Copies of this chain bind each other. A is one copy, B any other.
Amino acid sequence: MSFRKIAVLGAGNGGCAIAADLTLRGYEIRLFSRTESRLIPIAKRGGIELVENGATKFATPYFVSPHLPPVVNGVDLIIIAAPSVAHEYLAKNLADYLIDGQRILLTPGHTGGSLHFAKLLGSFGCRAEVMLCETVTLTYICRMPEPARVEVYRRTTNLRCAAFPGKHTHGLVKEIQEIFPNVIAADSVLETGLSNINAIMHPAGMLGNAGWIESTGGDFLYYREGITPSISAWIEEVDRERLEIVRLLGLKPVRFVDIFHQAGLTSEDARASGSIYRAIKESEPNKTIKS
């Protein structure tokens, strides 16, 4: 086992799923969130309930804390499962505590996450030789219907992962595969960054449903009801631009529907049709997810 002690930074859907699943699989997990109110229900219940395939398991992480230094102290791997707006805060507060050889995995990397994070660490004076890598999206399709309880609908498949600098990709991906067997190596963080279909799908879905979300508090099925033919056409246009950038960078263009299918999120029929609307409509793991 390359990793034993793991820090998970972020206690949202993704972070809690990772913390619970890895705990259940024998890893020593420290869970951090700067939002204390997220940790209190976990501390009160003594852990996180993980629901998957109809089975409920209870995981008690090694510890949870709103303080970063004890969470990252001496861990082999730091998993950042936080939105990119948290990168600056995390890099600033990690810079003095990181040590040579620690691995950092951004999951998801968002678009340009590793590049951003490496730059931030440097700007905050971090001199430790850490190794950075990122995945395209989350390792689990999941939601927290209530605090300290996470429901996993699907483990993402063929999840691309790349390191920055790229020379570390081969070694890091092999290590990461021990804890996330669903991860595969990408050519570079350009590939992972530009395969981020969340960045392609979600802005149109959010902007084009802003009134609905605000008026109902998000009480409708985001993918099933919110991604209508017009919203899909809008996503299609954004994807067309992404593919153009991919081509100009000399990378291999892979359409939204193909990435979505590779990730295990839609049917082969929908992929073959090329229709983004159908791909999202026929997404089994996303079907109960609200806005």
* Selected A-B contacts with CB under 8 Å, 6 pairs: A205-B211, A209-B210, A211-B225, A211-B230, A212-B215, A215-B226
Chain A residues near B (Cβ < 8 Å): 205, 207-212, 214-215, 220, 225-231, 234
| Chain B residues near A234 (CB-CB < 8 A) | 210
| Chain B residues near A215 (CB-CB < 8 A) | 212, 220, 225-226, 228
A207 to B209, CA, bound (A): 8
Closest A-B pairs by Cβ, 9 of them = A212-B212, A214-B228, A209-B211, A208-B210, A211-B226, A215-B225, A208-B211, A211-B231, A211-B228
| Minimal Cβ-Cβ distance residue in B for A226 | B211
A215 to B215, CA, bound (A): 15
| Minimal Cβ-Cβ distance residue in B for A229 | B214
A231 to B214, CA, bound (A): 9
A207 to B205, CA, bound (A): 11
A6 to B211, CA, bound (A): 41
| Minimal Cβ-Cβ distance residue in B for A209 | B211
Known contacts A209-B212, A210-B234; can you find 9 more A-B pairs with CB under 8 A? A209-B210, A211-B212, A211-B228, A211-B231, A212-B212, A212-B215, A214-B228, A214-B231, A215-B228
A12 to B274, CA, bound (A): 38
| Chain B residues near A227 (CB-CB < 8 A) | 211
A35 to B269, CA, bound (A): 39
| Minimal Cβ-Cβ distance residue in B for A233 | B210
| Chain B residues near A207 (CB-CB < 8 A) | 207-208
A214 to B212, CA, bound (A): 11
* A207, A210, A227, A231 pick with most chain B CB within 10 angstroms: A210
Nearest CB in chain B: distance from A160 CB, A: 29
Nearest CB in chain B: distance from A212 CB, A: 4
| Chain B residues near A211 (CB-CB < 8 A) | 205, 208-209, 212, 225-228, 230-231
A214 interface neighbour in B205, B214, B230, Cβ under 8 Å: B230
| Chain B residues near A225 (CB-CB < 8 A) | 211, 215
Nearest CB in chain B: distance from A59 CB, A: 36
A205 to B210, CA, bound (A): 9
| Chain B residues near A230 (CB-CB < 8 A) | 210-211, 214
| Minimal Cβ-Cβ distance residue in B for A214 | B228
A231 to B211, CA, bound (A): 6
Nearest CB in chain B: distance from A219 CB, A: 12
A208 interface neighbour in B208, B220, B226, B228, Cβ under 8 Å: B208
Nearest CB in chain B: distance from A221 CB, A: 9
